């Protein structure tokens, strides 16, 4: 398994090494341009990330931050997470809270999603169980030292390598590009939306 992980890192390293730092820079740029708190923007991106494409994730976060509206097709558990976050400022999920931290530049944040579950061949439902999480963290730390990457860069490189291994294209997180698309739509994406209940 070690050789396979090393190969995934090398395959995904070019994009993975800069994935979070690029996202962080664009997140702060868009937040400041709109007068938003960058931590709030990162939190909304994180809580709207489950089970959607990268672009839809960013579009949904822009609609919430700019218009206090979410797409009418959003999953009910995501709606609940958004409304909880807006009221309390607390992110309940370990994956989503780590994603927020990584987007804000925390190089020690370890984001574990379905792709990472596939990388480590551990069912996603049990990936945060203490024994599984500890095992993954130990492997990530070892790999990060060997490849001279931070923990978040190592995770992102594995993630990008896994995407490529399954025939998908690994790309940077296009916050600025989607912001420009949103601006071109007069700051409202042409999809059905529902007002936040709070």
Helices (DSSP H) in 89-174: which residue ranges?
A: 94-103, 114-120, 130-147, 151-165
Average pLDDT over the chain reads 94
Cα separation, 136 vs 113, in Å, equals 12
Mean pLDDT over residues 110-125, rounded? 91
Cα separation, 67 vs 99, in Å, equals 23
For the whole prediction, is pTM greater than 0.85? Answer: yes
pLDDT tier at 140 (50, 70, 90 boundaries)? very high
Cα separation, 105 vs 88, in Å, equals 22
Q: Is the pLDDT of residue 176 over 90?
A: yes
Residue 1 confidence (pLDDT): 62
Mean pLDDT over residues 14-37, rounded? 98
Query: 2-34 and 151-165 are packed helices; what angle lies between their axes, rounded to 10 degrees?
Result: 110
The answer for residues whose C-beta is within 8 angstroms of residue 61's C-beta and 6 or more apart is: 41, 44, 45, 48
Do residues 178 and 53 touch, judged by C-beta distance below 8 A?
no
Domain count along the chain: 1
Residues 72-86: pLDDT tens digits? 888 889 999 999 999
Residue 2 confidence (pLDDT): 67
E strand or H helix that includes residue 167:
none
Do residues 95 and 47 touch, judged by C-beta distance below 8 A?
no
Stated length of the chain: 198
Domain that holds residue 39: 2-195
Residue 145 confidence (pLDDT): 97
Residue 104 confidence (pLDDT): 98
């Amino acid at each position: 398994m070690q050789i396979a992980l090393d190969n995934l890192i090398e395959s995904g390293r070019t994009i993975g090494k800069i994935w979070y730092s690029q996202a962080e820079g664009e997140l702060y740029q868009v937040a400041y341009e709109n007068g938003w708190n960058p931590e709030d923007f990162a939190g909304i991106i994180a809580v709207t990330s489950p089970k959607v494409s990268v672009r839809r994730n960013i579009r949904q976060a822009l609609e919430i931050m700019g218009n206090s509206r979410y797409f009418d097709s959003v999953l009910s558990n995501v709606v609940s997470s958004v409304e909880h976050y807006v009221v309390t400022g607390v992110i309940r999920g370990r994956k989503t809270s780590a994603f927020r931290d990584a987007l804000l530049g925390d190089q020690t944040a370890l984001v574990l999603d379905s792709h990472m579950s596939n990388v480590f061949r551990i069912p996603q439902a049990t990936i945060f169980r203490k024994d599984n999480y500890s095992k993954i963290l130990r492997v990530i730390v070892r790999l990060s030292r060997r490849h001279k990457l931070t923990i978040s860069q190592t995770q992102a490189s594995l993630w990008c390598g896994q995407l490529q291994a399954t025939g998908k294209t690994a790309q940077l997180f296009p916050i600025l590009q989607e912001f420009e698309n949103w601006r071109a739509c007069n700051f409202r994406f042409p999809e059905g939306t529902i007002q936040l209940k709070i």
